Structure 1
Amino acid sequence: MPPALNIIALATFSASLSARALDPVLPHVAEEFSVSIATAASFAAVFAFTFAIIQPVLGALADMFGKARLMIVCLVLLGFAHILGSLSTSFGMLFASRILAGIGAGGVFPVALSLTSDLVGPDKRQVAIGRTLAGAMAGNILGASAAGLIGDFLGWRGVLAVLGGLVVLSSVAVAAGFRGAALTRPPRTSLAQLRKGYRTIFSNPNARICYGAVFIEGCCVLGLFPFIAAFLFELGETSLSVAGIVIAGFAVGGLFYTMTVSRFLPRIGVNGMMIGGATLVGVQLIAVAMGPEWRLQTLSLIFMGWGFYMIHGSLQVFASELSAEARASALSLHAFFFFMGQTVGPIAYGFGIQHAGKVPTLLGAAAVMIALGLVCARLLRQTPPADAAAK
């Protein structure tokens, strides 16, 4: 694997540090600003929504002006957004900082996947993307667990201040690393080529399935996370550190995926990864619905993360092959639909929990995920992009 993948993994690690930073401390945010947990959970929704809607723009900018440069600028923006959030004097100001954070994060991970896809051929791409995901998973683990620990000692403001400073420092390290990296630099794309690339993307029948599937994933899986701390509070477990550990379990499962994908993929194939992963997610959603104590919930989140990335990693590979000339745009659209799902998810979960109850809502999400794996395995077909010859 190219050494540049290590630099790309560092970039995803830096951005992922703060991805779930507020989830463990949402009860304290809600208390300080005198809002409900459901209202505080809107931070997750606005972050995801901003991340999503900016994707078509950032994907085009990355293809036109350079992927690595855009990634570094967005890391700096993300760090300063969190520092600004730590200084918030009102709910509105904190809300605005989450919008800026969504823009910053939006220019890191999808572009990192595109750089990875530029460096590695399709036959080795899922394993290479697994290494990129390892950086993101490590960041999620440290971000979620550290957020709970820091929150117990310094409050939610301390969480944002510390993580914001770390992201800014990481952006400097990533910039230095990219300067010395021997990256393959494909020709930058013009507006005319971008239009042609979008036509290529949406002419591929895999596009509708990939983008629809990741929307459902984001809704059913990531939409759950803002409510995990509240579920634990209902069980009498009010420690923010414990909430951070439980949420970090999902990222631990993602790391297990990155360590096992090279073994499982040749044995069960892409279809087996999608069916097995979606089924594992569904079973763990059922387990969480039963309300076990926090240690068992942590174990469930580990298996959920493992299963989630089995199907999600497969979908990322399909998305990377929708277009060769506009790969950053294709993967940014992939992220757009994924984070739109994360935007709808907390709202849908909140509505379902309020009107139907926790257990029926989670059981419904479990059924949807299991069905999703079967549908994707049946309909997705591995075909080279129509513009592959031009690459």
Structure 2
Amino acid sequence: MPLALLALAIGAFGIGTTEFVMMGLLPNVADDLGIPVPTAGHLVSAYAIGVVIGAPLLTALGARVPRKRMLVLLMAVFTAGNLASALAPDYELLLVGRVLAGLPHGAFFGVGAVVAARLVTEDRRARAVAAMFLGLTVANIVGVPAATLLGQNLGWRTTFLLVASIGVLAMGSLALLVPRMPAEPGGGLVREVRALGDRQVLLGLLTAIFGFAGIFAVYSYLASMMTEVTGLAESSVTLVLALFGIGMTLGALLAGPLTDRALRPTLYGSLAALAVALGVFGSVVHVRWAALVMVVVLGAVGFLTTTPLQMLVMNKAHRAPTLASASNHSAFNLANAGGAWLGGLAVTAGWGWTSPAFVGAALAVAGLGIALLAGAMDRGRGAVADVAEAGAVADAGGSRVVARGGERTDARLPARGGERVGRQGRGSGSRVLGPVSGAGRPPLD
């Protein structure tokens, strides 16, 4: 894998650390600023609002900016936001700092995913994207616990100074390791928005909102579930979160190769496994060893969904993938807020601390249903395209690549202006794949 992926992973590590560390520092921040803990909790929401707003906005504004420069600028905004948080004299300005820190989150992952995919051959694109996401998962194992411990002992402002320094390190790494890369050909706001309006892209984003909401319905209340139902001490919560992070890392390692091999089956399988795992977790959470094992499983199957969802929207918006890729992270944050809200409603209704797991399972099933519907619609669209393509094949020679049962085989297809035309997976429709001489093959759906 190229070293540039390490630079992307460092940026992801910093983003993951600042996103989740506030949850562990809320009592410290509340005590220092003289505000109630629930009020301090709005600082978590402020970051999420920054992500939802910033992902489409910054991506659209930077559509014509070269990719390397865009990544460095995004990390500069991230660094400024964390520095502002560290120096904020009051609660209101800390809120502003958190929104500012969240603004580049989705755009960084959106642009970074496109850059990662362009650094490698077509058959390794998902693995490259998953490698970038490893920085996010490692943040949950190392970054968040270490930053939380630092903030509890040296003050919460020290934590954000540390994260700002990670941002500076990421900027230097990106400038040094990422090759010069132009913006997407013909890029621009209108083109990006048009690509975002594709039906398959919208269904992919909807799948992310429902499917990922399932895991956040539980993650948001994991500490309370483990202390109130499992019977663990509060001091063990950090260990539980680290176990979840280990599961996320395992999921990221599996997601890349599986997605490169078969995108849609990986997505279907991960969502189905998530629904089952959430149901099992809700049933065994009162058994300590089983609950701890299932925490790892939940982290793995939950994060296994991210790479195929990311690749799906990038593939379906292939002419202008950056805004769709970034908007996927807005969808993840909407899932975060929606899953936490629905899980909280179940607890408030008196259904008990295990109820968020079953709410999450229902949300994962809904996400799977949307994904299956999108796949069926895509196959139907591809079948129509195949009929039209068959007539063209009968009248001309050339080579093509056809997917059969998840495998690609060579056949005859007309060349157009020195380019070969093919079908991406089963039912994806035909599209230009690239020059005849040695262009890589896109991953199968």
Scaled by the length of structure 2, what TM-score is found?
Answer: 0.74
Pair 1:78–1:134, CA change in 2 (3 A): same
Q: 1:373 aligns with which of 368, 373, 376?
A: 368
Q: Which moved more, 1:210-219 or 1:149-158?
A: 149-158
Does 1:282 find its partner at 2:278? no
Equivalent pair of 2:206/2:370 in contact (CA under 8 Å): no
Q: CA RMSD in A?
A: 3.3
Identical-pair percentage: 19
Equivalent pair of 1:24/1:229 in contact (CA under 8 Å): no
Q: Determine the C-alpha separation between the residues in 1 that align with 2:87 and 2:187.
A: 41
Partner of 1:362: 357
Does 1:237 find its partner at 2:233? yes
Q: Which moved more, 1:321-330 or 1:281-290?
A: 281-290
Q: Determine the C-alpha separation between the residues in 2 that align with 1:324 and 1:376.
A: 19
Residue 73 of structure 1: how far off its partner (Å): 1.9
Residue 95 of structure 1: how far off its partner (Å): 1.9
**Greater percentage in strand:** 2
Q: Determine the C-alpha separation between the residues in 1 that align with 2:341 and 2:39.
A: 10
1:42-85 CA distance string (max 9 Å, x none) = 33322122111222222223321122212212222222322332
Pair 1:131–1:384, CA change in 2 (3 A): farther
Equivalent pair of 1:82/1:163 in contact (CA under 8 Å): yes
Partner of 1:336: 330
Partner of 2:399: none
SS in 2 for 1:321: helix
Pair 1:100–1:230, CA change in 2 (3 A): farther
Partner of 1:206: 200
The one-letter amino acid of 2:273's match is: L
Does 1:257 find its partner at 2:251? yes
Pair 1:57–1:385, CA change in 2 (3 A): farther
Equivalent pair of 2:266/2:308 in contact (CA under 8 Å): yes
1:147-177 CA distance string (max 9 Å, x none) = 3322442243332232232322332233232
Equivalent pair of 2:214/2:359 in contact (CA under 8 Å): no
**Greater percentage in helix:** 1
Q: Which moved more, 1:48-57 or 1:374-383?
A: 374-383
Residue 122 of structure 1: how far off its partner (Å): 4.6
Partner of 2:154: 154
SS in 2 for 1:185: coil
Partner of 1:307: 301
Partner of 2:385: none
Residue 35 of structure 1: how far off its partner (Å): 5.5
SS in 1 for 2:221: helix
Residue 294 of structure 1: how far off its partner (Å): 7.6
Partner of 1:185: 182
Residue ranges of structure 2 left out of the alignment (5+ in a row)? 379-424, 440-445
Equivalent pair of 1:16/1:136 in contact (CA under 8 Å): yes
Partner of 1:270: 263
Q: Determine the C-alpha separation between the residues in 2 that align with 1:361 and 1:304.
A: 13
Pair 1:322–1:222, CA change in 2 (3 A): same
Q: Which moved more, 1:295-304 or 1:60-69?
A: 295-304
Pair 1:86–1:113, CA change in 2 (3 A): same
Q: Determine the C-alpha separation between the residues in 1 that align with 2:64 and 2:245.
A: 33
Equivalent pair of 1:8/1:112 in contact (CA under 8 Å): yes
1:241-271 CA distance string (max 9 Å, x none) = x43332233332232123334664588x434
Q: Determine the C-alpha separation between the residues in 2 that align with 1:88 and 1:337.
A: 29
Residue 385 of structure 1: how far off its partner (Å): 8.6
Counting only pairs closer than 5 Å after superposition, residues 64-143 of structure 1 correspond to structure 2 as 64-120=64-120, 122-143=122-143
Size of the aligned set, in residue pairs, is 382
Equivalent pair of 1:72/1:175 in contact (CA under 8 Å): yes
Equivalent pair of 1:322/1:385 in contact (CA under 8 Å): no
Residue 388 of structure 1: how far off its partner (Å): 6.6
1:310-345 CA distance string (max 9 Å, x none) = 222111111111223311112122222222222333
Q: Determine the C-alpha separation between the residues in 1 that align with 2:311 and 2:171.
A: 27
SS in 2 for 1:21: helix
SS in 2 for 1:165: helix
Counting only pairs closer than 5 Å after superposition, residues 285-296 of structure 1 correspond to structure 2 as 285-286=278-279, 289=282, 291-292=285-286
Residue 210 of structure 1: how far off its partner (Å): 0.4
Partner of 1:57: 57
Q: Determine the C-alpha separation between the residues in 2 that align with 1:201 and 1:155.
A: 43
The one-letter amino acid of 1:358's match is: W
Residue 11 of structure 1: how far off its partner (Å): 2.8
Structure number with the bigger relative contact order (C-alpha 8 A, sep ≥ 6) is 1
The one-letter amino acid of 1:282's match is: A
Partner of 1:9: 9
